[in-house]
Amino acid sequence: MISRQMRHQLKQMLSTLILLAVCAIFTFPVLWMITASFKSNQEFIRVFPFMPEKFDLVYFRQLLSGRWIPFVQQYISTFLIATFQTIGATVFALGAAFVFARYRFRFSRLLYLLAISVILIPHQVIIVPLFTWINRLGLYDNIFAVILPGTVSGIGILFLTEIIRRVPNDLLDIARVEGASEYQLLPIIYPLIRPGVLTYALIHFILAWHEHFLPLILLDTPEKLTVSVALNSLGSANLRVGYALLMAGGTLTLIPTILFYLVVRRHFDSTLSQLTSV
Amino acid sequence: MRTPVVVTETKAAQTAMKTTRKRPPYLFLVPFFLFYCLFWVVPLIAGLNLSMRDSVSGEFIGLANYARVLSLSNTSFWRALYNTSYYLVGTLITIIPAAFALALLLRNAYSRLQGLIRFLLFVPALMPPIVMGLLFVYLFSGRYGLLNNVLLAPFGSPNLDWLKDPKLIKPALIILGIWRWTGFVTMFIWAGLDGIPQAYYDAARTEGANRFQIFRYVTVPLLRPILLFAALFLVFDAFVLFSGAHAILGTGGGALESGLLIVNLIYRTAFYGAGGNFGVATAISYIIVPILVAAVWLFLRLKSSED
């Protein structure tokens, strides 16, 4: 008995140690970015000592002052783009996924396949016709040019359909007996699928928040650009600016995604384990 | 409490039968398909016209743009296709097994530390790829790069110039991809393992199955939906990958274009410099589409023939 318990403990300890080592490698660039937002260029290139000489907020202040790029406006613009896109994509996909998951009708299978084929031909691939079409609609340099295409999410359909399929049918039948119409069923089952919906929203928000390609092409006014576009142009245009400024920008960009993750992580974990089996 | 949902074949069939009776709430489909048509179908169809016109004169030139892309003297396209496929295969065959291993380790780790470890593994996915790209430039650079100086030099490795040597650019991009997505995929697989009822393992054990058999015939089949989702996500990522490569290599795609990816090529062809050619860039898109569809179809076929 004792040896078995010891083996178990050894296994536990080794697994934890290996994982912590992997975590160290995975988080190293992130920590480097954060500490580098306090470092001068000479300090940055040396990497070691890892900690900056002093934690002076001078680079953050410079970045936020708007002297190099209108960072505050860009941050707000990115936030609006990511938020609207996430809400739109989640709501639209939720409605369609409910129908695909719970009903069979003529062409339902075909419609489903058409919807998820967006995954195969993402907007990035058809960027040129999208660009000319956005121009014709008069949406060029409008943040909705980035928001609206992003609300069409094949991954959202795929993911939420799987989630809604897992709601027991009896529940829907009871609601029907109680007199609920087919349209009222979705609000009724919503509490059950909320973890899944939030999980999808998190995934979409992360991708939308980091959006770089579409804004680069569909937006023009500096104030409307997303932080990814802004930081990249800052990085390649003028190295006199100092790496610390870029790293400070990166550090500030990390905040919303981390917060969102921490808020919904409980749902995130429980949702994913439901996707096993069947 | 998590209650794993286990639906048997017959029950699933019953569910499908029951659902057919009622009139579906068709209006729920409207918002999605409205924007689907407006921002996906229309550009997709309009692009066909665009791809068959000369971008300067606007004249209809048939398939000339396609011929230009495919002609072997225009090697950029073939290179970009090769590089993207290389990246896709490279990330798929490393990330999924690595994430599987990490997820199995995570189940054995101290339960008190599991939450922290999951958070730390997830952090790379939360990093802006563009900043990551910029950081990796310094990480991989030949003279000052951390990778050479700290990790490889102690083993007597010569200074590798990752971002200048055409042979090393793609592995560098793959390392970037692995770093970014392994933790993310681990979360999926870990949660999936968590959802498998213990009774399945017990049953397999009483039947006399060994560890490998349990893994092969219980764990993997039950995780199929999750593995499929993870794989499709990585396919999607490979074909829209732009930021990292753009930040590291710029529009040129690196030495001998060995880091040039499809989306970067489309960008360069259409928007970069004075001679942006929309017709040719769109033609690239339409040549890619059937390749992508065929690749995923083949992939799904392979997956389903496994059982």
pLDDT tens, B97-133? 999 999 999 988 998 898 899 999 999 999 888 888 8
State the number of CA atoms in the 13 A half-sphere of A112 facing the CB: 18
Determine the 3-state secondary structure of A220 from DSSP.
coil
Contact yes or no for B270 and A119 at CB 8 A: no
Q: Are residues A25 and A111 in the same domain?
A: no
Give the pLDDT of residue B275.
Answer: 67
**Beta partners for residue B53, in sequence order:** B60
Contact yes or no for B25 and A231 at CB 8 A: no
B residues 124-153 closer than 8 Å to A (CB): 124-136, 138-139, 144, 146
Q: Are residues A151 and A257 in the same domain?
A: yes
B4 touches A: beta carbon within 8 Å = yes
Give the pLDDT of residue B21.
Answer: 65
> Quick one: which of B47, B4, B62, B17 has its CA closest to B194?
B4
Q: Are residues A15 and A147 in the same domain?
A: no
Q: Are residues A131 and A165 in the same domain?
A: yes
What number of H helices and E strands is found in chain B? 16, 0
> Best of B131, B194, B296 to disrupt the A interface by mutation (most A CBs within 10 Å)?
B131
What is the average pLDDT across B127-142?
81
What is the average pLDDT across B160-184?
87
Task: Say if A44 falls within a structural domain.
Answer: no
Helix axis angle for B262-271 and B278-305, nearest 10°, is 170
Cα–Cα distance measured from residue B195 to residue B298, given in angstroms and rounded to the nearest whole number: 28
Q: How many CB pairs under 8 A join A and B?
A: 326
B57 touches A: beta carbon within 8 Å = no
Task: Say if A43 falls within a structural domain.
Answer: no
Give the pLDDT of residue A88.
Answer: 97
Structure tokens at B3: 């209650």
Asked whether B260 and B253 are in contact (CB, 8 A), the reply is yes
Q: Are residues A126 and A236 in the same domain?
A: yes
Task: Say if A124 falls within a structural domain.
Answer: yes
Task: Say if A130 falls within a structural domain.
Answer: yes
Range of A31's domain? 1-36
Rounded to a whole number of angstroms, the distance from the CA of A254 to the nearest CA of chain B is 6
Other CB atoms within 10 A of residue A53 CB: 10
Contact yes or no for A148 and B122 at CB 8 A: no
Which positions in chain A touch B240 (Cβ < 8 Å)? 122, 124-125, 213
User: Which domains does chain B possess?
Assistant: 96-125+170-277 (1.10.3720.10)
Rounded to a whole number of angstroms, the distance from the CA of A114 to the nearest CA of chain B is 10
Scanning every residue of chain A, which has its alpha carbon at the shortest distance from the alpha carbon of B293? A120
Asked whether A90 and A197 are in contact (CB, 8 A), the reply is yes
Q: Where are the alpha helices (DSSP H) in A121-242?
A: 127-136, 144-150, 154-165, 169-177, 182-209, 213-218, 227-237
Q: Are residues A201 and A93 in the same domain?
A: yes
B240 touches A: beta carbon within 8 Å = yes
CA–CA–CA angle B105, B111, B116 (5° rounding): 85
Mean pLDDT of each 10-residue bin along chain A, 278 residues long: 82 93 91 88 72 84 88 96 97 96 92 90 90 95 96 92 89 90 92 91 93 92 92 72 85 94 85 64
Scanning every residue of chain B, which has its alpha carbon at the shortest distance from the alpha carbon of A269? B191
Q: Are residues A109 and A146 in the same domain?
A: yes
Rounded to a whole number of angstroms, the distance from the CA of B61 to the nearest CA of chain A is 17
Q: What is the pLDDT confidence band of residue B37, given thresholds at 50, 70 and 90?
A: very high
Give the pLDDT of residue B8.
Answer: 44
Residue pLDDT, tens place only, B252-284: 777 778 888 888 899 888 988 666 788 999 999
Rounded to a whole number of angstroms, the distance from the CA of B167 to the nearest CA of chain A is 24
> Quick one: which of B169, B182, B207, B197 has its CA closest to B80?
B169
B residues 66-85 closer than 8 Å to A (CB): none
Q: Are residues A159 and A266 in the same domain?
A: yes
Task: Say if A42 falls within a structural domain.
Answer: no
Structure tokens at B81: 């296709």
> Quick one: which of A172, A151, A278, A162 has its CA closest to A214?
A151
Task: Say if A254 falls within a structural domain.
Answer: yes
Tell me the C-alpha to C-alpha distance, in Å, between residue B265 and each of B140, B160, B237: 23, 26, 16
Residue pLDDT, tens place only, B224-257: 878 888 888 888 788 877 877 887 777 777 777 8
Rounded to a whole number of angstroms, the distance from the CA of B25 to the nearest CA of chain A is 6
Contact yes or no for B233 and A155 at CB 8 A: yes
Task: Say if A182 falls within a structural domain.
Answer: yes
Q: How many domains is chain A partitioned into structurally?
A: 2
Q: Are residues A83 and A23 in the same domain?
A: no
- Amino acid, single-letter form, for residue A149: P
Other CB atoms within 10 A of residue A59 CB: 23
Contact yes or no for B16 and A104 at CB 8 A: yes
Scanning every residue of chain A, which has its alpha carbon at the shortest distance from the alpha carbon of B151? A25
- Which DSSP helix (H) or strand (E) runs through A73? helix A71-102
Other CB atoms within 10 A of residue B203 CB: 13
Task: Say if A41 falls within a structural domain.
Answer: no
Scanning every residue of chain A, which has its alpha carbon at the shortest distance from the alpha carbon of B108? A12
Rounded to a whole number of angstroms, the distance from the CA of A37 to the nearest CA of chain B is 12
Cα–Cα distance measured from residue B110 to residue B120, given in angstroms and rounded to the nearest whole number: 15
Contact yes or no for A26 and B121 at CB 8 A: yes
Q: Are residues A188 and A246 in the same domain?
A: yes
Domain CATH code at residue A114: 1.10.3720.10
Please name the residues in contact with A171: beta carbons below 8 A apart, sequence gap of 6 or more: A188, A189, A192
